Each structure stands twice: as C-alpha cells, then as structure tokens.
Amino acid sequence: MIPLTEQELHNLGMNIVGEKLQQMGYEFIAINSKLKKHPQFVLYKKGEPTIFVLVKVTKNLQNAQDYDVIWMENFKQHAIKQNAKVWFAGVGIANAESIEMPVFKDQPYYVAFEEFIKIIP
C-alpha cells in the first residue's frame, strides 16, 4: 500500500471542499492547490462579494478546524483590501482502520469536515 503524499492529501481535502462549494452554488474564479499558497479558492456568486476560501488538511479529526490566529489576522488584512470575505475550511482526513496509520491510496478513510468558519462573514 502506498501512502498519500502531503500534496495528494491536500488535493483530496480540496476536492471535498470544492464539491461542497459547488453544492452551495458558487463558481470558482481561481483555484490554487499548491501547499501553503493561499487562498485555495476564490469564489463568485452573483450579488455577493468575492470570497477567499482557505483550506487546511490535517490528520487530526478532532481539531481539524484549528488554525493559526496570527497568520489569519495578516490574511484578513489582505482580504479587507480586496473587499473580500474569508472562509476557513479545516478538513480532517484519517485512515479508516487506524488514525495512527497514514492514509493510503485507494483505501478507506474518515473525513471530518462540516462547515466553513466565516472569518470575515
């Protein structure tokens, strides 16, 4: 069995978030799937301001929604200058057999992702 790389795990989380955004009726202006490059999604919906979505994928299912508050403050300043909203999507992905094991390609996994944290609503 081959474990997912950090980039592959990130891409999996991005796919999960992207599907939810599409279900919510958003269109993608831009998508950036490179690790540590933000935002991952720039969204458009008629009549609404631009939304920047930050995606963080972690193996921690309990605290997937945790983020670096100081870093987020800096990003918020960037978004305010762009008249944009900021949403955070913390996605926990773990091996279905044991959270101690890595997530393997083509093997079952758990996902912890419910809602977006609206940093700038």
Structure tokens at 79: 């978004």
The answer to the question of residue 101 being in a domain is yes
Tokens of 120: 């700038």
Q: Which domain holds residue 58?
A: 6-120
Here the CATH number for the domain that contains residue 89 is: 3.40.1350.10
pTM of the model: 0.93
Residue 1, in any domain of the structure: no
Q: How many domains does the chain have?
A: 1
C-alpha torsion sign, points 1, 95, 28, 88: negative
The answer to the question of residue 69 being in a domain is yes
pLDDT tens per residue across all 121 residues of the chain: 999 999 999 999 999 999 999 999 999 999 999 998 899 999 999 999 999 999 999 998 999 999 999 999 999 999 999 999 999 999 999 999 999 999 999 999 999 998 999 999 9
